[in-house]
Amino acid sequence: MQVHVGACMLELVIGDITQQATEAIVNAANSRLAGGGGVDGAIHRAGGPTIMAETRARYPQGCPTGSAVLTGGGILPARWVIHAVGPIWHGGRHGEAAHLAEAYRHSLRVAVAQACTSVAFPSLSTGAYGYPVTLASQTALSTVVAFLQAQQQPDLVRFVLFDRETYEAYAAVLRTQGLPMAPPQSPAGEATRLPRT
Ligand code: APR
């Protein structure tokens, strides 16, 4: 599913974040930047040891919840990894939504500062950190849409959702945003164009 946000594109796909050839991908990291399971484990496995080596060297103090830091992408298709720290879900009354929004905004700021034209996000905080997917998708999408409307960059933001249930939760929220849909993709993966008259 793709929608236009001004001149930018916002896209939802089902897939594996490590396979994305966007200029940057976002890691669902922890505040110690210590690696882990889920997205974090998959990125470090697929990207090789240079990502952790750079993380340790440049950010020995870690990264606070709601913030994000940049490393190279090692042998990943993506050139950069933005390590973002979403909140742990504690019932919703401990600033979780604000921290989650800040993690997305901070990641986008890092991407723009690095002149990335495309960035792929996983669903931050909805795995090991236990954030309910429907609530997280509302915050994730409204934050990204507001950023794109205000900044008109990066050109492409893609949410890479690991399973159909998560994809459907995000798609249901995105449909309520009143944004113009992009034309459906042809089987060859190219946007369908109407013939010229
Ligand atoms: N690609 C895309 N999405 C993935 C992938 C993948 N390869 N692997 C898992 N996911 C999905 C999960 O199914 C979930 O929907 O990403 C979402 C986020 O899950 P987590 O990776 O567990 O991230 P989070 O909830 O933010 O927890 C972060 O987990 O691995 C540790 O070090 C990490 O401590 C940190 C915590």
Which residue numbers are catalytic?
Answer: 40
Residue 36 alpha carbon to ligand 1 centre in Å: 9
Look at residue 197 and tell me if it is in a domain: no
Look at residue 157 and tell me if it is in a domain: yes
- Tens of pLDDT, residues 104-153: 999 999 999 999 999 999 999 999 999 999 999 999 999 999 999 999 99
Q: Are 154 and 8 in contact (CB under 8 A)?
A: yes
Look at residue 189 and tell me if it is in a domain: no
Q: How many domains does the chain have?
A: 1
- Tens of pLDDT, residues 44-73: 999 999 999 999 999 999 999 999 999 999
Look at residue 191 and tell me if it is in a domain: no
Strand order from edge to edge, sheet including 8-14: 2-5, 8-14, 156-161, 118-121, 24-28, 80-84, 68-72
Ligand 1 atom closest to 42 (CA): 7
> ∠ CA 12-13-15 to the nearest 5 degrees?
145
Q: Check pocket membership of 122 for ligand 1, CB cut-off 6 A.
A: yes
Look at residue 193 and tell me if it is in a domain: no
Average pLDDT, the chain: 94
What CATH number should be reported for the domain holding residue 118?
3.40.220.10
Domain encompassing residue 120: 2-182
Look at residue 195 and tell me if it is in a domain: no
pLDDT of residue 182: 87
Look at residue 139 and tell me if it is in a domain: yes
| pTM, rounded to two decimals | 0.94
Residue 101 alpha carbon to ligand 1 centre in Å: 17
Look at residue 15 and tell me if it is in a domain: yes
Residue located nearest, by CA, to atom 26 of ligand 1:
125
